[in-house]
């Protein structure tokens, strides 16, 4: 018999690069620089998709969306997240809730939290109050503290339908 609940975790980090857009949780955030990547470099959404896939015991997003595939250059990471939710659905699971943390020395993300939650909730096919999301700085410690990039952690609970 399959498990009534499954839990997964995810982590991702991308470095800042000039001339790039900053996209987090599917929301474009005003910033003097964005994150580097083959995709839209949305590290929050990548961590979350990996948490969903991890709960299913599946390989990470790079398995489904290889970073040397020219066809997905600049891909909207919501498509990656939606694919992970489809994989859960195919196996008889829906997302229960997720909890997410962004580590970013800059920019200030508090004004964008509700927008990110709304976009992610839609991709996850859940209500926004089932999406926990917070931002913290790294207190100027280490490479994240020097604002070399942004990192994100995610936890996801899947429920058997």
Site for ligand L45E5XJ5, rule CB under 6 A: 104, 108-110, 135-137
DSSP state, residue 68:
T
Considering the complex, what minimum distance in angstroms separates the CB of residue 76 from ligand CDI?
A: 11
Instruction: List the structure tokens of 52.
Output: 């969903």
Among ligand L45E5XJ5, ligand CDI, none, the one that 39 touches (CB under a kind-dependent 5 to 8 A) is ligand CDI
CB atoms within 10 A of CB 24: 32
13 is in an annotated binding site: yes
Instruction: Tell me how far apart the alpha carbons of residues 8 and 142 are, in angstroms, rounded to a whole number.
Output: 27
Beta-sheet strands, E only, within the chain: 5-17, 23-24, 27-28, 34-35, 93-103, 131-136, 149-160
Taking the least distance from each CB to ligand L45E5XJ5, the nearer of 108 and 146 is 108
Between 82 and 137, name the residue whose CB sits nearer to ligand L45E5XJ5.
Answer: 137
Applying CB under 6 A, the residues found at the interface with ligand CDI are 12, 37-39, 41, 46, 61-62, 65, 67, 72, 80
């Amino acid at each position: 018999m399959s498990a009534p609940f499954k839990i997964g975790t995810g982590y991702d980090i991308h470095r800042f690069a000039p001339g790039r857009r900053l996209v987090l949780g599917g929301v474009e955030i005003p910033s003097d620089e964005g994150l580097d990547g083959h995709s839209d470099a949305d590290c929050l959404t990548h961590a979350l998709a990996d948490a969903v896939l991890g709960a299913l015991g599946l390989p990470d997003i790079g398995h489904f969306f290889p970073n040397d595939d020219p066809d997905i250059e600049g891909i909207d990471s919501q498509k990656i997240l939606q694919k992970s939710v489809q994989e859960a659905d195919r196996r008889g699971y829906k997302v229960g809730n997720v909890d997410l943390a962004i580590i970013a020395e800059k920019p200030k993300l508090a004004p964008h939290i509700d927008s990110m939650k709304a976009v992610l909730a839609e991709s996850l096919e859940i209500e926004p109050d089932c999406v926990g999301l917070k931002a913290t700085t790294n207190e100027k410690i280490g490479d994240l503290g020097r604002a070399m990039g942004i990192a994100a952690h995610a936890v996801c609970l899947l429920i058997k339908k």
